Structure 1
Amino acid sequence: MSQTVSTSLDYSADVVVLGAGPVGLTIANYLGQVGIRVLVIEKLDTLIDYPRAIGIDDEALRTLQSVGLIDKVLPHTTPYHWMRFLTPKGHCFASIEPKTDEFGWSRRNAFIQPQIDKVLLEGLKRFDQVNTLFSRDMYQFDQDSEGVNLYMRTAEGTEERVRCRYLIAADGGNSMVRRTLNIAFDGKTAPNQWIVVDIKNDPLGTPNIYMCCDPVRPYVSAALPQGVRRFEFMVMPGETEESLSQPDNMRKLLAKVLPNPEKVELIRQRVYTHNARLAAEFRRGKILLAGDAAHIMPVWQGQGYNSGMRDASNLAWKVGMVVKGLAGEALLDTYQQERRDHARAMIDLSVMAGHVLAPPKPWMGKLRDGVAWLLNYLPPIKRYFLEMRFKPMPQYEKGVLVKPDMKLTHNPVGRLFIQPKIRTESGDVCLLDDVIGAKFAIIAWGTDPTWGLSQEQIAFWKHLGTAFIQVVPSVQMLAPTTLSDDVIRVGDEQGRLKDWFGQYPASVVVVRPDRFVAGLTLPQTLEQTCSRLSQALAAKAVSHRASVEPIGKVA
């Protein structure tokens, strides 16, 4: 059937974000705070109000910190939320209890997604040049060398056309954009489904999350903030969402986990199918895929949400720099280079965890229980689980980074930089990122971070908005200094920055806006490192436009 499209231009923006989920809203918040004109388009008439993700990690919290919303997010979380795997008899054979906070936050946290999504949506109101349109059905789009046209209908059937320089498709696992572009989405769909049951006034009240590996019907029991309890039960062959939702059948399910299944306050129940799929491409011209549109994975390690937030953190600063004329468009190619392999690793981890909970074959369950019992008595193996060392941390081999010339047994380039507490000149103690802001940083231990740079390079990195930071032990903060006004001096409050630099024969680190290490060097070789980084950025010394017009109906 032919479509009648709008020929008049109704909206224009630098960037259109399709989808008001956590990934799209986070990207919009980041771009808003760096002055980019953003239009968020959502098909639904409001945010999704039912809980989906329940686990948020330290990397995602750091991303929310970078958009200035962490103080509004934390009240909706439970820090240090341990995950314990139980045998059918209730014996804990593996416990995941990471107590590290190297990135500034607890590594595992419980949360209720709609509450955080609402914080992100409200956060957009801070920016005059960011607008959100709900109840818009985007049914067609096309792109050219200058940008993208989008055609959509309102709930009343009014036709509208939008023009933007870049489209970020964060429109979910069934992404219309990905399907229209015919980008492969290879992977598998799990053969079984799970029913999720949320209950208020938690009838158990015990903290943490428990994965019970019951061969008859595996289930999950998770304590959530605000006194909510989530149960997840495997759906058996022949069962349907309709049949399981019947009061008698729901009581039978809950009798497996509660002493009194009659005395509950049910919020909702939904049946889910778990998929493990990865898009063949994350970028096609002026269009980029993010979040579930680029990859989906089973829930068992809580990495679907967090992988999407990693996309947002990686992509937003790159799009912002390109739009502002601070970098060439080739920078956007590094998004797929850096994110796709790690997304695949998280998919594999999530599938593996699902097999631990519900092995495909009965003999695998018996082998799991026996091996787990034995390994639990080996301290190194026990620490491996407790400290969550099995989680593949992102390490980029290509992209916006310069590999160090020195020989290192442990290379930090391409990895996330730590975020310890620091002391400012005013005597306040805060986290490192709060001093850096949403930009590059050149951080030097004990020395002036600008000493190894030419005046031209200092001007170049200042043009990018770089923070120049000197780190000293906190006890030295009262000593006089002769640093220039461009340099921020901070105190190493916990000694962690000294320990970090002490691992390497280098004292200067270049940190990207997403907090990944782009380069590691000495003051005497900083100039060469920064020159190579500017090439990786495809950087341009172009002034940003003088003013930013708010989005509105085009006259």
Structure 2
Amino acid sequence: MTVASSGRRGLRDPCAHSQVLVVGAGPVGLTAAHLLGSAGVRVLLVERNADVGDDAEAVTPDDEYLRILQRAGVNEAIHLERVLLAALAQLPTVETSFDTRLFSLQQRTDRVRAWLGPTAGGQAAAALDVPYVLGCDGDRSSVRELLGIPMQGRSCPDVWLVVDTLDDPHDQAYGMRHRNPRHPAVVVPGGGGRCRYEFRLRPGECAPGASPPFTLVRELLRPYREISVPQVERVVASTSHALLADRLREGRCFLLGNAAHMMPPFAGQGLSSGLQDAVNLCWKVAEVLTGRAGDPLLDTYDTERRPSLQAVVERSVRLGDVAMTTSTARARLRDLCVRTALRTSWGNRCFGEMRCRPDAPVRIGAVVPSLRGRTDPLVGTALPLPMVLHGTARRITRLDKVLGPGWSLLGAGVSEDDWATVEEAGPPADRRVDLAFDDPAPRDTSGRIGIADADGGAHAAFSRLTERFILVRPDRLVAAVFDAEDAEGVTLHLERFALQPLPNPLDTPATSTAAPVLAAVSSPPSGELS
């Protein structure tokens, strides 16, 4: 195994006392490792390949995608894996091991035993005991296979050719569909001269996984631009799948990203959905490991993510049927509809800003969707991200930065008496923030941060919630919107998830035979080698 820790390779015994094993160093695994490591969780990240990839992961990332990356300390979406790996080097709690393969998993009451070894063989496998395993190892997930979790859905036999180019003249703000019935195409301009072309191939032109000849690439691009070999950043031929795992959790093991779901690329949500998996799960794992939450919180990963994933997969399929039609008449109608939609705010959001996510708010899980028969539409959705004035210096910053990494409670124009009532009820809140609508110079008070609207965004997002409280989870999902008199009910509802003082599984193993270090063994248990 080749091991790296904080940028160094060759470290001995890298896995001693690891709390989470992350399998797969793609964007989702790297993001999960960063989120966990930033929360103080000790992580071992293993990757069967010798290094991360250099491919451009996203040509036109949406706002939620960028928000997630910023939480991981990353502001560059191109060559994402390389940037995320460099960010991990700054976290002393995260260690990485490349050329390392997961051979077997064995679940126990208080831990998972994983057998790891070099991808190329030639060295004995080693056993690692950890409380949790995150399978972020892609569409051919070893974790999913070892757990025996099937996927449901369908695969499309058509082959698509995806070409990422440089020095491209296209500078439109939206993806363009072209109605060539022989090769339906989608052109997605990006920043810095990058552009992505997606073509539906005819039978026999290129097999999935094969290296497409440059002559084919040049011929397909000819109607749109001239291309030379150095201007092709990446080219891949593949089929698409619309699949979702039967379950995202199996005991102490979890599936994320393509290990859990696969979808056609037409909604542009594949990678973003995987990153949202990591954001949804990692704070919950950290809460349980620190003893602040109990195991029921981890069950909400599946119940919260599944409706959204199902909706995104279905939308991706529908968009693909429309975008890649071989019917000239349907293509003309499609293009007319897109041009018309771009004249509306909805069309600009969907096609111009690539915000094609279906609305799927969380209604079951660690949220309080209804109080006294009322359901606020903000509950179960991502908190808006306005600019605010912060503190007496009136610094302008994004609300995310004010809230911090944990649970936060935002009071929108509430009174001191209401704050006293809510604080006595004790809903989970690591940080309390007082949003003033009528005070341009907010002041911090005892135990609370004062903020005010900076540019109208906060007023637009929260003015209808005056004299109410907004409880925000660490993943920036709104858990509850409530009046002071409902604070006790909110606390009672969330206690089963967020307020159980359970011990750290590593500190108090269920049996005296637990082995918290990497131990060399001759081979994994018989019948478990994958």
**Fold agreement, TM-score > 0.5:** yes
Judge conservation of contact 1:376–1:382 (CA < 8 Å) in 2: no
Going from structure 1 to structure 2, the CA distance change for 1:215 and 1:49 (only over 3 Å counts) comes to same
Per the alignment, residue 279 of structure 1 pairs with 245
Aligned residue for 1:414, secondary structure, equals coil
Q: Give the equivalent residue in structure 2 for 1:471.
A: 435
Partners of 1:143 and 1:477 in 2: how far apart? 55
Unaligned runs of 5+ in 2: 1-12, 508-515, 521-530
1:509 aligned residue (462, 466, 470): 470
- TM-score (norm: length of structure 1): 0.80
User: Which residue is equivalent to 1:419?
Assistant: 385
Which residue in 2 is equivalent to 1:186?
152
Distance 1:543 1:247 in 2: 55
Cα shift at 1:214: 2.1
- Distance in 2 (CA, whole Å) between partners of 1:257 and 1:473 is 51
Q: CA deviation at 1:192?
A: 0.8
Are 1:44 and 2:49 matched, yes or no?
yes
Number of aligned residues: 490
| Structure 2 letter corresponding to 1:440 | W
Q: Give 1:142's aligned residue.
A: 106
8 Å contact 1:278–1:296 — kept in the other structure? yes
State how 1:391-406 maps to structure 2 within 5 Å.
391-406=357-372
Q: Does residue 401 of structure 2 align to residue 434 of structure 1?
A: yes
- Counterpart of 1:326 in structure 2 is 292
* Cα distance change, pair 275–545 in 1 and its aligned pair in 2 (3 A): closer
Residues 534 and 409 of structure 1: CA distance in aligned 2, closer, same or farther (over 3 Å): closer
Indicate if the aligned counterparts of 2:41 and 2:93 stay in contact, CA closer than 8 A.
yes
Which amino acid in 1 is paired with 2:133?
A: L
**How far apart are the structure 2 equivalents of 1:372 and 1:235?**
20
Q: Deviations over 1:431-456 (max 9, x none)?
A: 0010111111111012347422355x
User: What CA distance in whole angstroms lies between the structure 1 residues aligned with 2:463 and 2:33?
Assistant: 38
Asked if structure 2 preserves the Cα contact closer than 8 Å seen for 1:172 and 1:292, the reply is yes
Asked if 1 retains the 8 angstrom alpha-carbon contact of 2:28 and 2:274, the reply is: yes
1:530 is aligned to 2:497: no
Partner of 2:10: none
Equivalent AA in structure 1 for residue 410 of structure 2? I
Q: State the secondary structure of the residue aligned to 1:192.
A: strand
1:341 positional shift: 1.1
1:355 and 2:317 correspond: no
Amino acid at match of 1:495: G
> Is the 8 Å Cα contact of residues 268 and 356 (structure 2) preserved in structure 1?
no
SS at match of 1:17: strand
Which of residues 184, 199, 202 is equivalent to 1:233? Answer: 199
Is the 8 Å Cα contact of residues 243 and 249 (structure 1) preserved in structure 2? no
Instruction: Give the distance between the partners of 1:163 and 1:526, measured in 2 at CA.
Output: 41
Structure 2 Cα separation of the partners of residues 342 and 375 of structure 1: 24
SS at match of 1:13: coil
- 1:146 is paired with a residue whose SS is coil
Q: Contact 1:394 / 1:416 at 8 angstroms: preserved in 2? A: no
Q: 1:373 aligns with which of 321, 336, 346?
A: 336
2: CA distance, partners of 1:263 / 1:181 = 43
Stretches of structure 1 lacking an aligned partner (at least 5 in a row): 1-7, 77-110
Secondary structure at the aligned position of 2:329 is classed as: helix
1:157 matched to which residue of 2?
122
Matched with 2:89 is: 125
Report SS of the residue matched to 2:70. Answer: helix
Pair 1:519-2:480 in alignment = yes
| Match of residue 80 from structure 1 | none
Change in 2 beyond 3 A, CA 1:496/1:52: closer
Aligned-partner residue type, residue 253 of structure 1: L
Match of 1:386 among 348, 362, 366: 348
The residue number in structure 2 matching 1:17 is 22
Distance in 1, matches of 2:277 and 2:458, equals 27
The alignment status of 1:453 with 2:422, answered yes or no, reads: yes
Please report how far the alpha carbon of residue 249 of structure 1 lies from its aligned counterpart in structure 2 after TM superposition. 3.5
* Alignment correspondent of 1:3: none
Tell me the CA shift for residue 229 of structure 1. 3.1
Inter-partner Cα distance in structure 1 for 2:25 and 2:361: 29
How far is 1:543 from its partner?
9.0
Preserved contact between residue 440 and residue 453 of structure 2 (Cα < 8 Å): no
Structure 1 distance, partners of 2:104, 2:505, is: 32
Equivalents in 2 of 1:312, 1:390: separation in Å?
20
Instruction: Answer whether contact 1:423 1:474 (CA < 8 A) is retained.
Output: no
CA distance in 2, matches of 1:187, 1:62: 30
User: Matched residues, percent identical?
Assistant: 28
Q: For each residue in 1:116-146, what CA deviation from the matched residue of structure 2 results, as whole angstroms up to 9, or x when unmatched? A: 2222112212221210111101111111001
What CA distance in whole angstroms lies between the structure 2 residues aligned with 1:121 and 1:298? 27
Go from structure 1 to structure 2 and tell me whether the alpha carbon gap of 1:130 and 1:247 turns closer, same or farther (over 3 Å shift). closer
Most deviating of 128-137 and 439-448: 439-448
Q: Do residues 61 (structure 1) and 66 (structure 2) align?
A: yes
Please name the residue that 2:9 is paired with.
none
**C-alpha distance in 1 between matches for 2:261 and 2:229:** 39
Q: Does 1:212 align with 2:178?
A: yes
Residue 503 to residue 46, structure 1, CA distance change in 2 (3 Å): same
Distance 1:192 1:545, change over 3 A: closer
Q: Deviations over 1:482-524 (max 9, x none)?
A: x31x111111223333333333475111011111111111123
Matched, 1:33 2:38: yes
CA distance in 2 between partners of 1:124 and 1:372 (Å): 44
Please state how far the C-alpha of 1:406 moved relative to its aligned partner.
Answer: 4.4
Q: Where do residues 65-144 of structure 1 align in structure 2 (5 Å cutoff)?
A: 65-67=70-72, 69-70=73-74, 73=75, 76=76, 111-112=77-78, 115-144=79-108
Partner of 2:420: helix, strand, or coil? Answer: coil
Mapped partners of 1:130, 1:215: distance in 2: 50
**What is the match of residue 296 of structure 1?**
262
